Amino acid sequence: MSSAPARPPTPQEAASIIVARDAVAGLEVLLLQRHPKSRFSPGAFAFPGGRLEAADAAPGIEARCRGLGRGEAAKQLPDVKPPERAIGFWVTALRELFEEAGMLLAYGPDARPLSAASLEDLRVERTRSREDSAAFGRLLTERHLALATDHVGYWAHWITPEERPIRYDTRFFVAAAWVDQIAEPDGLEMVAARWIRPVDALAGHAASELVLPLPTQRILASLAEHGDVGAILRAAGDRDIRSIRPRIIRDASGERILLPDDPDWF
């Protein structure tokens, strides 16, 4: 008696953020290296990000988001249900950047971007946020901070293949780095940080010098088409974003990954 095929695991909603800066050599983006014992893409370099938590879209969070309301967020992510949850993806991306890299793209009580000196006072809060995602919203409220969602653009949407045991439904966002904030990996989920040009990261992957997940590879290639951060942020507003869900075929020759534009994709 044959058994029915196993149902693929439901992907967890997640958000990731591409932090970019203009350097002497050209456009650079921040990549973090995952812990070698990570359950998902161990040792790989990827953009900061993680799972959407209920607290990220909790009532009142929109008051901590500069220039982005629930209605506008829902308009940009029309497939998120119920629509009032959409704003949580922006919050998740910025929260994960704070937790994993120690960078907080937010405005202080004086409406100016947070400086590196200001972040020195938030080390304890960073630890608390990793332990309890709701602590991030409390931090924003208690310190009278506003997330810089007015300078965060929606860039891509990738869903892990059904054939993988751990799956994510991830929205990718882009933002400019604050001038003097420094990336400091948490040492737990992320063990190293690199500012690197997209073309150099792709070349390093091709030379087996660093591991890049497929979504990271494709997003880096799309970023390389733009000369500076300003161009990327302008492009974000005009992108026609469609979800990309690769499929995996395994046969005697090994494993093949198919993308929606491939003729054999199903």
**CATH number for the 12-258 domain, one of 3.40.50.2000, 3.10.20.740, 3.90.79.10, 3.20.20.60?**
3.90.79.10
pLDDT of residue 2: 42
| Phi (first) and psi of residue 218, to 5 degrees | -70, -35
pLDDT tens-digit map of 101-125 = 999 999 999 999 998 888 888 999 9
Q: Cα 63–65–70 angle (5° rounding)?
A: 75
Q: Do residues 14 and 189 touch, judged by C-beta distance below 8 A?
A: no
Strand partners, 175: 19, 152
pLDDT at 5: 52
Q: How far is CA 162 from CA 67, 166, 248, in A?
A: 36, 9, 8
What tokens appear for 83 in the block? 């629509």
pTM flag (> 0.85): yes
pLDDT at residue 129 greater than cutoff 90: yes
Which among 206, 205, 236 is positioned nearest to 222, based on CA atoms? 236
Question: Quick one: what percent of the chain has pLDDT higher than 70?
Answer: 98
Strands 168-176 and 12-23: parallel
- Comparing 167-171, 217-221, 237-241, the range with the smallest average pLDDT is 237-241
Do residues 67 and 233 make contact, with C-beta atoms less than 8 angstroms apart? no
Position 144 pLDDT exceeds 80: yes
Domain boundaries, the chain: 12-258
| CA nearest to 133, candidates 53, 202, 194, 192 | 53
* pLDDT reported for residue 117: 85
- Residue 256 corresponds to which tokens in the numbers above? 């093949």
pLDDT at 131 over 60: yes
- Please write the tens of the pLDDT for every residue from 28-86: 999 999 998 888 888 999 999 999 999 999 999 999 999 999 999 999 999 999 999 99
Average pLDDT, the chain: 94
